[in-house]
Structure 1
Amino acid sequence: MRVWRGAVYLLGSLATGIATLLALPLLCFPRLARPWAEWHRDRAGWLLGKPLAVRPALPATERGAWADAATPRDLLWLPVHAVTGVVLGLPALLCVGNVVVAAIATPLWWAFALEDRPRLFIDIPVTGWATALTLGPLQILLLAALAYLAFPPIARAHARICLAVLSHSAAEALADRVAVLTRTRADVLDAHGAELRRIERDLHDGTQARLVAIAMRLAVARQALSDDPRDEQFLAGLLRDAHEGTEEAMTELRDVIRTVYPPILADRGLAGALTAVTTRCGVPTRLDVGDLDRVPAAMEAVVYFAVAEALTNVARHSHATAAGVRVSRTADRLSVGITDNGSGGADHRLGTGIAGIRRRVLALDGTVDVDSPAGGPTTITLELPCGW
């Protein structure tokens, strides 16, 4: 398998190296060089078994595209690939071509004209069955051994050259990381401010208003009790309204508290809280929670709210008949997968709650991946670091 992967990679590199050489004047523009370079990065990652993060898109303006930090690397890759693709791919072509000649043309030597009969790689003409049946298989065996030994390391060498040219330097990677953290911190601050405003509004317009009404009813009841103690029916009605208002205010207050930090997490832990969420979901949901060990409280809250929001979306928008939640931990990474068999098409730009999930997860230096093609199914994968 490694030999075939190496052969396909090297032959592809030869073809694209020649194409790069021929189209070099056209490719020397950032908007053409970037997708060409990205495609080669993907090929290199496929060969090395190393999934690569997608680089940021080019700025919208032409000036911004030329000023992008990755543009010089994209342009440098063009001549580098034109040289390395041809130099490293040509031996693979010669090797494969000679194998084909030995395997196909040599047994049919008698069908060729005398001057067109095939020659083996050591320039021995095939003039009889003895040569065809002995030196032909010997050539295939030698070339197969050469391919087995040489193709994988040569292909990996080209792939590493590709990644070395197109990958960020340590300073650029650090700068990108700082930019991401700065952006996510700004998002967190905005989300935190919005959450505080929402809590203040809920308390001011809801709970506080009800408590004021209760206080007024109790004041009237007290006045009625002092002025006319015989009016028991009027007093009972005021006290009943005050009691009902108190219950409603307490319910609203519990709802507000639950949005700050769900009490169920403190009472039952993450597994118990997720069990409650999946049980309440309007769509039958299967829950699979592995051995999580100790998870930081902030991480538990993010997972809880993310799963709750995702399942709410499933029940409201997906038309799904089944859903699943899987939570597992590997070393210092916490993985959460939410799936459903609904109609798909989930997009954070449509205000379906995925944007809120993304902000919460990015705030803890995590990642969110949404796979939701039209027609479904939908899979939301969260990865969170829990080693701190």
Structure 2
Amino acid sequence: MMSRQKYRFLIIVIVLLALFELYSIVLLWLLFQAGVFGVWDASTSKQRERYITEADRERHARHALENVKEELLQSSRKAAQLAEVSERNRIARDLHDHVGHDLTGANLALEAYEQLEGKEAEVMLNEVKLRVARSTAMLRDTVHDMTPVARIGVDVLEHIAKEFIHTPVSFQRSGDMQLVPVHYWGLLEPCLKEALTNVARHSDATEVNVNLDVTMYLVRLSIQDNGTGSKHLGEGSGIRNLKVRARANGGSVTVNTVNGYQVVCVLPLEEDKR
């Protein structure tokens, strides 16, 4: 009877020891997993913090870039407005100082002419003619100087296209050119020049089509050739700079080499320009 009890006791002890051993192994495994998870969680937390920091830095950089773009756009507008005001003031000053002076003198000479006879009257009449001719020439020059900026801007583009000797260029325009802000011409001109330069350097085109379209909402300049030599042409510093300037004005410059070489510049029109 006692031997059976001892035997049972030994079995119970063995079972308990086995359970304890198993528990120890499980406990060690859990501790190991907890350690691994802790290391992973710490690493993930650091990565998350780094991502958050980088995201904040990028957000601040984008915000700063937007501010710079807005300041650049405002500066361009102010420069254009100041240029227009300065030109008006110059024209008004020239009219007052020269045309006004000569016309006043001519009027006085005519009054004196009525009181003179013979040689003196002839001399006075010649003086009147001289002053009137001088005033007419001044007015003609002033009218020429007052030629709308839009006419000057689009004429410059047409001249660039006409003077391009590498390939025949067809220039087409549509819309009201007066809607185009003054500072836009300073971007459209280098855009056309850069595109034609790339055609001359890299394309085997036989013709180039230039289209300038102005609507109520945007200005679109497209330069496209029919060549194949520029399919693998990358974007040089010239195109990249044009893209930055276009974005600063709320627009875009894109390059397409699927069907020939094409550069498209799109710029938005402000409501007060419509």
TM-score normalized by the length of structure 1: 0.34
TM-score normalized by the length of structure 2: 0.45
Bigger relative contact order, structure 1 or 2, given CA contacts below 8 A and separation 6+?
Answer: 2
